[in-house]
Amino acid sequence: MTRSPATKRARVAYEELIEAEYLAAETLEQRRPDIVEHEPGWCEGVRATLRWAWRRNGPPPIEVPTSSAAPVSVGTHG
């Protein structure tokens, strides 16, 4: 099981844990200054990802190129 980035919990995600992770990410730099020194940009990346995915706020944390191909229909049989 993958550990969460801010709290290092190894549990199945559910709403309250995701919210707690989001809140922990907001203060990650104060709690873990070693990360700021050794992994520049990591804390902001975690915050940006959770802000976008959990709170649906802000731009996507990475640029994803759009495909020029036609969309594929899933689950339909012609």
State the Cα angle at 66 between 64 and 59, rounded to 5°. Answer: 45
pLDDT of residue 39: 93
Where exactly are the structural domains of the chain? 15-53
Identify the burial level of 42 via C-beta atoms within 10 angstroms of its C-beta, where 0-12 means exposed, 13-18 middle and 19 or more buried: middle
Q: Is 67 helix (H, G, I), strand (E, B) or coil?
A: coil
- Could you tell me where the DSSP H helices lie in 1-78? 15-26, 28-31, 33-38, 42-53
pTM > 0.85 = no
pLDDT digits (tens, 9 = 90+) for 24-77: 999 999 999 999 899 999 999 999 999 998 888 988 888 878 776 555 555 555
Between 39 and 12, the higher pLDDT residue: 39
Report in angstroms the alpha-carbon separations of 12 from 7, 50, 73.
Answer: 13, 16, 31
